[in-house]
A = this chain, B = another copy of it.
Amino acid sequence: MTKTTIYDIARLSGASPSTVSAVLNGTWRKRRIRDATVATIQKIAAEHGYTLNRQARGLRQARSGMVGMIIPLHDNRFFSSLSQTFDTFVRARGLCPVIASTLRDPDEERRIVSTLISYAVDSIFIAGATDAGPLSDLCAAAGVPHVFVDLPGRNAPSVVSDNYRGAEMLTGQILAHMPRLSDLRRARPCFIGGSERDYATQRRMEAFRAVCAARGIEISDDDVQPCGYAPAAARAALRDIYQRRGGLPAGLFVNSLTVFEGVLAQFTELKAEEPAAIQIGCYDYDPFAAFLHFPVYMVRQNSDALIARAYDILESGETAPVMIEVEPDLIEPRTVFQNAPMNLG
């Protein structure tokens, strides 16, 4: 019942605990253990179902073999995709992933990072923190390597989507395909969703305005509504836009999938032709959104590349606040198969 330890195996094999340890953790060549001894010990270990106590090893080595990641929430296409990639990468290196969600609460963020540190994680990936500075400080104080993913950190390296480029592509498609409406109130495209305090949203708004300006379309503050990420708020924002303009705008830049949910909810109050008569683009990708009754351009962030680059940075030992940008993909309407990642369902 009580788990077997190297001491038990030492007793049973007549060897010393240090020899057993070396055999079982693979360092026995360095210690010049005879092959016969190795075999004996491995046999006994197997017979007794020995399993390493990683807390003991970790205590001695001052590292746990775990790698932490914090995300705002699991229940989201983009972040769960990040999780999946992270999980795969970490496990491929023989380490154990620990992913915790913060619900975008700064206190939770600090608490989780502290917890991870107290478990002596080898390093930490921080995705979508609302308050990056203090997290960096916590990690730095503990000497834990860390990297920001999807948002730029001030005092540590970060890997982010090229939000400007993604929004540029998306806005370009919206402008290229939206109808030319004679009603001036509806002729200009709108940007909806996200938070102004959000780095990603800032960059996307910037690109949206720039592309519009380049086509000679003047965007007013009224055309840009960073109303947060909640579907209900997005729905209300769209209702306002609709009422003020007497209809949907010719183009709609939807800043996230949850915002899109709110937009769709509002659409249920309209005639089916109305959404179909404008051009919609959504930043972030969902396969079902690709099958709505009107075409939607979408941007899919490249979570594989984000995690891969982040890992590169950590493994290079870089700790300076460099920033790497990863270009996202523009997804044409109705292309679920050609571009969807493998999903084992």
Contact = CB atoms under 8 A, between A and B. Distances in A.
Interface of A: 1, 3, 49, 51-56, 58-59, 64, 66, 72-77, 80-81, 83-84, 87-88, 91, 96-101, 103-104, 114-120, 141-143, 228-232, 235, 256-261, 264-265, 267-268, 272, 286-289, 291-293, 334, 336-337, 340-341, 343-345
Contact of A232 (B1, B55, B96, B337): B337
Contacts of A100: 87, 91, 96-97
A288 B272 contact: no
Nearest to A275: B291
A56 B235 CA distance: 51
Given A74-B80, A80-B80, A99 B96 contact: no
Nearest to A64: B55
The 9 closest A-B pairs by CB, nearest first: A258-B345, A229-B345, A293-B293, A288-B288, A74-B83, A80-B80, A75-B84, A74-B84, A55-B58
Given A232-B337, A268-B334, 14 more contacts: A1-B143, A49-B141, A51-B142, A66-B119, A74-B99, A75-B81, A75-B83, A75-B341, A75-B343, A76-B343, A83-B83, A261-B287, A261-B336, A265-B336
Contacts of A257: 288, 345
B96 A96 contact: no
A117 B52 CA distance: 9
A98 B67 CA distance: 11
Contacts of A88: 101
A267 B288 contact: no
Contact of A59 (B59, B66, B336, B341): B59
A345 B142 CA distance: 31
A265 B337 contact: yes
A50 B85 CA distance: 33
Contacts of A232: 337
A55 B119 contact: yes
A337 B262 CA distance: 8
19 contacts: A51-B118, A51-B142, A54-B118, A54-B119, A55-B59, A64-B119, A74-B74, A74-B81, A76-B345, A80-B80, A96-B119, A98-B98, A231-B336, A258-B345, A259-B345, A265-B337, A268-B291, A288-B288, A288-B289
A51 B96 CA distance: 22
A230 B72 CA distance: 28
A19 to B, nearest CB: 21
A56 B60 CA distance: 9
Contacts of A53: 59, 118, 120
A293 B273 CA distance: 11
Contacts of A103: 344
